[in-house]
Every structure is written in structure tokens, then in C-alpha cells.
Amino acid sequence: MAEKEFNVSVSTISGGSVSNILKIKKGRKIDPKYRGRMTASILFSLFAEPFRWWEHLRYDKQINNLQVNEDPVFVLGHWRSGTTFLHNLLCEDPQMAYVTTYQGIFPELLLGSSWLFKTFMTLMMPKKRPSDNVKLNADFPQEEEFALGNMNPYGYYNFWFFPKSTREFYEKYIEFNDVSEDVKKRWKNDYLRLAKKTCINSGNPRFISKNPPHTGRVKMWLDIFPNAKFIHIYRNPITVFISTLKLVESTIPNLKFQNISTQEIEDNILWVYDRMMRSFEEQKKLIPESNLIEIKFEEFEKSPFEQISKIYKMLNISGFEEAKPHFENYIASQKSYKKNKYQMPKSKVDHILKHWQFAMDQWGYDIPENIEIIDNK
């Protein structure tokens, strides 16, 4: 696998406490090449420890007393299904409170020490996301799975650090199989704490989440927020596979502590998508009909303003008129791009369809026009 490095000496695991890091890595192999990265990550975390304790002492009472009165909004969908574009657009609404890229890594260094650690982060992070050249910034909207994993050791994104345990992390921390009730309770409490801190940090009342792992956690969210609003965005599965593989291959080299082959990555992508999307189809039946909307990425891409208007209307989310000029400005700022063309061996396409034909059929997709199928060599 060709690896494109960001030249970072620490992993995002350093955003959590030393005890959290030790719990995540317990019993897991660290390849010799990455032992220095682990040491550097622990040392950085150790340096940040006093700041974490100070934030707890200074802000815990305010966090605990805050009531989340507005129903939160959850953007669901597999990675590379258009969740980022949709989330970024929704976050233009001035009422929305969202996890930033900075908070996503340093969730317990948000309210008192961001002036220091945001500087460190800005120096370490690339200017663009290597998988698609989307601009990155410490204050931009971000998914919250890294944040959850840095608050407790029960995050699915631990697979970025220990990719050979991808399926174990999925079963434990998305499906919550074979985990104790105490773990579930801790996870729920930490998530609520994260949402409250996000509202305090932004000064905005309605929490909005974009986090692909949540697509398999619908029941969990209904336990915490019975009247939450859900937006599921889906995309041609063949395109999703190509783009997800590119995302993982371009990102994992800078986070991992153990090696994994491209074949293993591909197999995990196929397995996780199958498991997640089938699970979502079952769990979405629990959502009140008026609280769920499903949109096709290809339609959203063509007419984002019409689709966002439809979302607010169908989910009965207030504030659309106030947010309207912000939506229009953001859409106007996004330059159109020409889709890449790909060649794929017929055997590869057949292998993907063997696992994901159910999704192709359910959403009425064919092989994308920008995919040229070539004979096996």
C-alpha cells in the first residue's frame, strides 16, 4: 500500500488521557516502526494532563447543569456518502452547535486551554484532506468519533490505531455486543457531556451531529434523545467503495500503530458496510416517521438548496428563513468539479456486488458512468 505521510510525530490518540491510551492499547500489538509514535503520543498526553483536570474543575458544574432543550439533528450515512457536504451546509445555520475539528481531537481541552492546544494542532494538521483535497481547519465542523474515543476507550475509531481489530471495535462500540451495562452508561454520559460542551463553546442551542458510525447506533440515540431528527444520505455503493478505500489508505498511515495490507482494508470495508447498512435498515423502523428523511447524494449534489429546504420542512426544524442566506452563500462558494474516471477489473466489481448488491437494488443504482470495467488480467 502506498503511504502518503503528513509528517506527524504523534497520533490523534494523544488527545485523550494517558490512562485512556493505555486502556486502548492494552493487549494489542504495536509494530516496531510505530513505537516512537506511541511514546510521543503518551508524552504529549502527559503534558496536557494538568489542563484536562483544570477544565474539569472549572467547567463541570456548568456542563452538568446545562439542559439540551432543542432536539438534536443526526446526519447519518456511510463514509464517503456525502455526509461532509451535507453537514457543512447544515452547520451554516446560526442556531447549530457542532463539534469542530479541534474539539474532535481535544474534547477535554475545549473550554479553557484551546488557545494553546489549537496552536499545536494547527501546526501538525495538513491544510487539505488527502483523500479528496477538502480544506481542513481547526474550527471547521467535524465528526465526533475521535472525540468520543479520547473521552473513553470505547470508540470505534480505535481501528485507525489498531486496524487489525476493526471488526472487534465495530461489534463492541457500534453494536455494543458483549459489553457491560456500565460501559454503555459511560458511553452515553460522555456523549451527552460532549454535546453540552459543544453548545457551551458555540453559544448555540441545537446540537447537530455528523458521524458515520452513528448509522449503526440509531437505537442508542433514541434511548438518549427520543425525539431526535435523523437525516440519512446514501450514494452509489460502487463509488462509496472506491472513495472509502482511498480515504483509509491516505489517512491510516499517520495514525496507526500496526501494519495492515490493502486486501485486509478492502475486506473490512466490505464487511463493515454490509453490517452497518443492514443494521440501519432494521433500526430505522424505530424512528418516528416524521423524524427521519432519507436523501440521495446524487440528487443533493445537483440541487443542495432545494434538498436542504425539504429537510427543514419534513423534519419540522425551525430557523430556515434566518439560515437561508447562509445556505445560499455556502453553496455559491463551492466550486463544481469534474468527476474522476476509474478503471476496475470485472472481478473486483463482481466481488463488491457479491457483498453489496442488496444496497444497489434497494436504492436503484447501476454501475456508475465514470467507472470503466476492464477484463481481468
Cβ atoms of 124 and 144 closer than 8 Å: no
CB burial class (10 A; 0-12, 13-18, 19+) of residue 277? Answer: buried
In-domain check, residue 375: no
In-domain check, residue 317: yes
The model's pLDDT over 293-315, given as tens digits with 9 standing for 90+, comes to: 999 999 999 999 999 999 999 99
The model's pLDDT over 99-143, given as tens digits with 9 standing for 90+, comes to: 999 999 999 999 988 989 998 888 777 666 665 666 778 899 999
In-domain check, residue 342: no
Provide mean pLDDT across the span 267-275: 98
CATH classification of the domain holding 292 = 3.40.50.300
Contacts 24+ apart (CB under 8 A), 361-368: 362/281, 363/234, 363/296, 365/236, 365/237, 365/238, 367/238, 368/236, 368/238, 368/239
Coil, helix or strand for 248?
Answer: helix
Sign of CA dihedral 100, 106, 112, 113: negative
Range of the domain at 95: 12-335
CA 192 to chain centroid, in Å, comes to: 17
Q: How would you label 45-70 residue by residue, b for 16+ Cβ within 10 Å and e otherwise?
A: beebeebbeebeeebeeebeeeebeb
pTM confidence score: 0.93
Coil, helix or strand for 274?
Answer: helix
The model's pLDDT over 49-103, given as tens digits with 9 standing for 90+, comes to: 999 999 999 999 999 999 988 999 999 999 999 999 999 999 999 999 999 999 9
Q: How far is CA 231 from CA 70, 224, 290, 295, 324, in A?
A: 16, 17, 11, 8, 19
Tally of structural domains, the chain: 1
In-domain check, residue 364: no
In-domain check, residue 343: no
Rounded distance, CA 159 to CA 166, Å?
Answer: 5
The sheet with strand 206-210 has its strands ordered as 96-97, 206-210, 73-76, 229-234, 292-296
The model's pLDDT over 203-260, given as tens digits with 9 standing for 90+, comes to: 999 999 999 999 999 999 999 999 999 999 999 999 999 999 999 999 999 999 999 9
Q: Which residues contact 149 (CB under 8 A, 6 or more apart)?
A: 13, 16, 24, 155, 156, 157, 158
Rounded distance, CA 54 to CA 64, Å?
Answer: 16
In-domain check, residue 18: yes
What are the grid coordinates assigned to 77, written together?
450515512
Rounded distance, CA 230 to CA 80, Å?
Answer: 18
In-domain check, residue 212: yes
In-domain check, residue 41: yes
Rounded distance, CA 215 to CA 232, Å?
Answer: 8
Cβ atoms of 208 and 75 closer than 8 Å: yes
Would the pLDDT of 279 be above 80?
yes
